[in-house]
Structures are given as structure tokens and as C-alpha cells.
Homo-oligomer: A and B are copies of this chain.
Amino acid sequence: MNIVILGSGNVATVLGSALSEAGYNIIQVWSRNVKHAEALASLLHTNFIDDLSLVDSSADLYLIAVSDDAIPVIKTSMQFLKGIVVHTSGSTSIDILKDKFENFGVFYPFQTFSKEREVNFRDVPILLEASNSKTMLVLESIASSISNKAQECNSDQRKALHIAAVFACNFTNHLYTIAQKLLEEYQLDFDLLRPLIAETAQKVQEFMPENVQTGPAVRKDMNTIGSHLKQLEDHPELLAIYKLLTEQIISASSKN
């Protein structure tokens, strides 16, 4: 099975590496930026191109792992291909590929990737969508060879999952940043918070989050909330988040 990787960012890198380690033959890496193409191609021991007209038309799978905005641009510049063409985007419909290709789909690895940290791909859910059942069978076989958590997922579901990830990962990380800045202001080290952050995430590996909510809001401890609001008076941005989330936790717990 011959694969072409289009893109050179975090997703292209981790997916290319996982597929290469699983024994697939990565025959080309394309990137708009020739240096990035060369770097990833070198990592995957393969060839690189920076011109889409040079994409090898004999491959079985083309993985478009680029930013959402770039997908339509790249698609337009690509020739018609017999092989399966997939994108890896959480928030892009499968339909973006349908006017150009016959066998196409989505291959969405659901995890936060960074170049600094290696992730165990076997635990990463891969959400699949395909233009036809034959294509789905191929995608399932590839996904299962690198992950234990491959499953079908339509475009609406994938979009909901992507939004859920913004809340549970991106926004959460911003809350960590806020906490870190607060500690900094009081000459306290972020190390003090790290065990708490780890335990908070660990708890929901076993339990549902609504069943392990803690803190002044869920206890409706208005004294503590009042004292926190007072202390945050000089931080209007934090005050806005504190008020909004506290109100919503109180309201959610009153419904239970």
C-alpha cells in the first residue's frame, strides 16, 4: 500500500510516522514550503515535492493533512486521482472532496499533537468517513493498524467532537494559563498546580465529570465566591470568566 502525505505540520508528522512504523510505504511528501517537505521526507525516508502537479498518481492513499483553509486550495490544484483521497480535519465536511475525486473520505485522529511530545497512537481515536463502503473498508484497515480506537463518524458528529475538543482541551489549557499567571503574581511556582491538574484529568478517566464536580460553585458556597470575586476585582478578564462559569455550575447543579 503506497501513501502520499500532503502537509508537513503536526498531524502530517505524527500520522506519517505512525503509518511508516506500521509498515506502509510513504512514497512522497508534499508541502508548499520546500524546507518543511524536505524535513518530513527525511524523517520518513522518502521523497519530497513542493509542486502539486508532481504528485505520484499511482498511490493508493493521499492524506491531506493541512490547515482547514488550505484544503480547498490544494484540492483545486490536484489532478484527478484513482486512489483514495482523505482529509484529516475535524471541522471540514467530507463533501469538500466530492466534486473532484471518486473515492474519498475523512481520516481524523482525535488528539492534540505537538512536535515536542510523542503520543502513543494506539490510544488515539481515529474517526472515519468514506464516500463508499469499499473505501471505508480500506480506511478501517489502515486506521486499525495504527490505533485500537478506529470508528465511523459522520460529518455532523465529527464537527461536534471538534467543538467538544475546543472546550475540553483548548479552553482548558487557557484556564491552566490563567491559573499560572495568578500564581506568578503571588510568587508561587506552577509546580504547585501540576498535581491538581493531573488529578482533575485523571478523575474523569474513571468517572463522568458531572459526578466529580468540586469547588465553591457546586457547593453554592457564596462566602467563598464573594471573597474570590473581590480578590479578582483588578482582573476584569478573569472576573468575567469566574462569574460566567460559576453561574453555569450553580445552574447545572441545581438541575440535578
Q: How far is the CB of A180 from chain B (nearest CB, A)?
A: 6
**Chain A interface: which size bin?**
35 or more
| Shortest distance from the beta carbon of A224 to any chain B beta carbon, whole Å | 5
Number of copies: 2
For chain A residues 94-134, which have a beta carbon within 8 Å of chain B? 110-112, 114, 116-117, 119, 123-125, 127
Q: Are B224 and A91 in contact (CB under 8 A)?
A: yes
Q: What DSSP secondary structure best describes chain A's contact surface?
A: helix
CB contacts (< 8 Å) of A190 on chain B: these are 208
Partner of A180, one of B156, B208, B242: B208
Identify A237's interface contact among B153, B168, B248, CB under 8 A.
B248
Q: Please, which residues of chain B bring their CB within 8 A of the CB of A249?
A: 170-171, 174
Spell out A's residues near B (CB within 8 Å). 67-69, 91, 110-112, 114, 116-117, 119, 123-125, 127, 149, 153, 156-157, 159-180, 182-183, 185-188, 190, 192-210, 212-219, 221, 223-224, 227-228, 231-232, 237-238, 240-242, 244-245, 248-249, 251-252
